[in-house]
Amino acid sequence: MKPTATFLSLALISLATFQTTLSSHSSPLTTLFLTLFALSLNYWLLPGGFAWRNYYYPKLSEKLIGPMGWPILGVLPYMGSLAHAKLAALATSLKAKRLMALSLGATPVVISSHPETAREILYGSSFSDRPIKESAQALMFERAIGFAPSGTYWRHLRRIASFHMFSPRRIQSLESLRQRVVDEMVKRTWNEVEEKGVVEVRGIFQEGSLCNILESVFGNTDKREELGDMVKEGYGLIAEFNLEDYFPLKFLDFYGVKRRCHKLAGKVSSVVGQIVEERKREGEFIGKNDFLSTLLSLPKEESLDDSDMLPILWEMIFRGTDTVAILLEWIMARMVLHQDIQMKARQEIDMCIGQNSHVRDSDIPNLPFLQAIVKEVLRLHPPGPLLSWARLAVHDVHVDKVLVPAGTTAMVNMWAISHDSTIWEDPWTFKPERFLKEDVSIMGSDLRLAPFGAGRRVCPGRALGLATVHLWLAQLLHRFIWLPAQQVDLSECLRLSLEMKTPLRCIVVPR
Ligand code: HEM
């Protein structure tokens, strides 16, 4: 690149000098400004932009491809509510689907929009850490699974969670809880329709998801309201744009995000800490099925102290609430929009269990069309289109023969991959049948569709999330016929997760 930038810089410097020489009126300030601007071009007019200014090409390394973006800001102005779609379009237009370099302020980033390079990033041991935002750090997530560096502590937490929170046996043992929660959601849906004539499902799904995760983590929902508010506030804070995350300005707090996060972390510690203390006072942990009791009954060599227990309990509630609710809202939007598909799913359920009985977890393997619907919604509307949490190169590494220096943030645009017409036939059409023809695993082995990520840091909650969504969807379709209350608006809004911009409103007819 450098020749173009150098040429432009030299041209501008000459112009500035020439102007000063010619005009006795031109101010030295203008000249200084033009000269500085010209010099800064050298650091900006590069593939990938400003953050790649110190990049060097080793022998045999392929060239970087990527947008220059704005001076200093890079592509930060792109990172709004449709960042996934804008980045996908950019990668296509620059022919950089395999790997695109870009600058988020002073942070160098590479992004893959291709299954092969996505695999290299997600499975590569060089990308086993995550870059942490100031807000996530202040909210204690650095001591929880999602952001802990990939050493002994992280492995210990993951092992505990896989065994005591997400094991198939535990998921199975929580079926009666999921059934109770969905019964409550059905009741609330009907009450709202009777009262108002329509139901806005978002609130009901969020409340259901929150109760489900709280009971699973604490064994009760006593602090439901407080914790629900905290999850909402935390989501808002982490999703908020914070200049300090992209520039070395950590000592500043432009938007007060850090201050608000510390305040919230204090509240979380107090509320969750109180629950832990009460449980300790009660004693009796053996025979209880909630995650907190299990943590408290771990043998000494495995046990966590309180300062580590709080972040992991808080993380489970934080991650387990919105993901499931958001996915379910997208699914119901598709069901309302495609009545033929809704009817076909209901016929499958009726055939499997009869019209009067209850759907059980054990029925789900016999409902392939229902499972295909969930996969198709995860393809079209993945809750984490950029896989939510990026990865960090812990040392220099090659991806697709391009050198990626240590410290680079690596992202996978799963939304771009799952909407790519060279990978998926008719990618914009909602067609669950495609998964009956070809069984695509969504658990992380097939990078054409990996909505839960892949590799060592794949989502540990994926089986629990899917068990919940499958059962609840089957029950909701079994109990009601779902109709649109107004035109369904499928516009997207990326905050921490990819949400429906306009909340879904429906009418239901009981069966
Ligand atoms: C529809 C539901 C869900 C979706 C779409 C989802 C998606 C994701 C994604 C994309 C990642 C990043 C994976 C990667 O970097 O490769 C992730 C990580 C994670 N998820 Fe989920 N998730 C869901 C449900 C859950 C639930 C229910 C929980 C817990 C109760 C959970 C806990 C976590 C944790 C702790 C991590 C961090 C893992 C690590 O860094 O080692 N998720 N999830």
pLDDT at 6: 43
pLDDT at 190: 97
Report d(CA 70, CA 331) in Å as an integer: 37
- Cβ of 185 below 6 Å from ligand 1: no
* CA 315 to each of CA 80, 187, 343, 352: distance values in angstroms, whole numbers, following the listed order: 25, 29, 37, 37
Start-to-end CA distance of the chain, whole Å, equals 66
- Cβ of 496 below 6 Å from ligand 1: no
Residue 37 lies in a domain: no
Report d(CA 99, CA 118) in Å as an integer: 9
* CA 401 to each of CA 59, 62, 397, 410, 496: distance values in angstroms, whole numbers, following the listed order: 11, 6, 9, 15, 31
Q: Any idea which residue has 């016999």 for tokens?
A: 366
Contact present, 329 and 205 (Cβ < 8 Å): yes
- Cβ of 461 below 6 Å from ligand 1: yes
Residue 501 lies in a domain: yes
Distance 167 CA to ligand 1 centre (A): 15
Amino acid identity of residue 6, one-letter, is T
Q: What is the CATH classification number for the domain harbouring 278?
A: 1.10.630.10
The token duo for 173 is 């043992």
Ramachandran assignment for 344, one of left (phi > 0), alpha (psi -120 to 50 degrees), beta (any other): alpha
Q: 453: how many CB neighbours lie within 10 A of its CB?
A: 21
What DSSP string describes 463-509?
HHHHHHHHHHHHHHHHHEEEEESS-----EEESSSEEESS--EEEEE
Amino acid identity of residue 417, one-letter, is I
- Cβ of 457 below 6 Å from ligand 1: yes
Distance 131 CA to ligand 1 centre (A): 16
Residue 459 annotated as part of some ligand binding site: yes
DSSP β-ladder status, 402-404 and 409-412: unpaired
What DSSP string describes 156-210?
HHHHHHHHHTS-HHHHHHTHHHHHHHHHHHHHHHHHHHHHHSSEEHHHHHHHHHH
pLDDT at 256: 87
Q: 124: how many CB neighbours lie within 10 A of its CB?
A: 19
Report d(CA 443, CA 141) in Å as an integer: 24
**Domain count along the chain:** 1
Residue 127 lies in a domain: yes
- Cβ of 170 below 6 Å from ligand 1: no
Distance 319 CA to ligand 1 centre (A): 7
H-helix or E-strand spanning residue 218:
helix 201-218
Report d(CA 133, CA 111) in Å as an integer: 18
With the most atoms of ligand 1 within 8 angstroms of its CB, the residue from 178, 452, 464, 496 to mutate is 452
Name residue 498's beta-bridge partners: 494
Distance 45 CA to ligand 1 centre (A): 37
Report d(CA 254, CA 266) in Å as an integer: 21
Report d(CA 367, CA 360) in Å as an integer: 11
Contact present, 391 and 127 (Cβ < 8 Å): yes
Residue 36 lies in a domain: no
pLDDT at 458: 97
Residue 443 lies in a domain: yes
- Cβ of 292 below 6 Å from ligand 1: no
Name residue 494's beta-bridge partners: 498
The token duo for 417 is 């991959």
- DSSP letter at 302 equals G
Distance 166 CA to ligand 1 centre (A): 12
Distance 241 CA to ligand 1 centre (A): 22
SS (H, E, C) 315-342: HHHHHHHHHHHHHHHHHHHHHHHCHHHH
Give the domain extent around 350. 46-510
Q: Sign of the CA dihedral 280, 282, 285, 291?
A: negative
Residue 351 lies in a domain: yes
Q: What angle do CA 274, 317, 321 make, to 5 degrees?
A: 145
Residue 135 lies in a domain: yes
- Cβ of 389 below 6 Å from ligand 1: yes
Q: 356: how many CB neighbours lie within 10 A of its CB?
A: 8
- Cβ of 459 below 6 Å from ligand 1: yes
Q: Any idea which residue has 């919105």 for tokens?
A: 322
Distant-in-sequence contacts of 471-474, Cβ < 8 A, 24+ apart? 471/175, 471/178, 471/179, 471/182, 471/359, 471/361, 471/364, 472/178, 472/181, 472/182, 472/185, 472/208, 472/328, 473/328, 473/331, 473/370, 473/373, 473/374, 474/349, 474/359, 474/363, 474/364, 474/367, 474/370
Please report, in tens digits, the pLDDT of each residue of the chain (511 residues total). Answer: 444 444 444 444 444 444 544 454 556 667 766 666 666 666 677 899 999 998 887 777 788 999 999 988 999 998 889 999 999 999 999 999 999 999 999 999 999 999 999 999 999 999 999 999 889 999 999 999 999 999 999 999 999 999 999 999 999 999 999 999 999 999 999 999 999 999 999 999 999 999 999 999 999 999 999 999 999 999 999 888 888 888 887 777 878 888 999 999 999 999 999 999 999 988 877 778 899 999 999 999 999 998 999 999 999 999 999 999 999 999 999 999 999 999 999 999 999 998 768 899 999 999 999 999 999 999 999 999 998 789 999 999 999 999 999 999 999 999 999 999 999 999 999 999 999 999 999 999 999 999 999 999 999 999 999 999 999 999 999 999 999 999 999 999 999 899 999 999 999 999 9
Residue 29 lies in a domain: no
pLDDT at 13: 46
Burial 16-37 (b: 16+ CB within 10 A, else e): beeebeeeeeeeeeebeebbee
The token duo for 300 is 């000494």
Burial 388-399 (b: 16+ CB within 10 A, else e): bbbbbbbeebeb
Atom number of ligand 1 nearest to Cα 150: 41
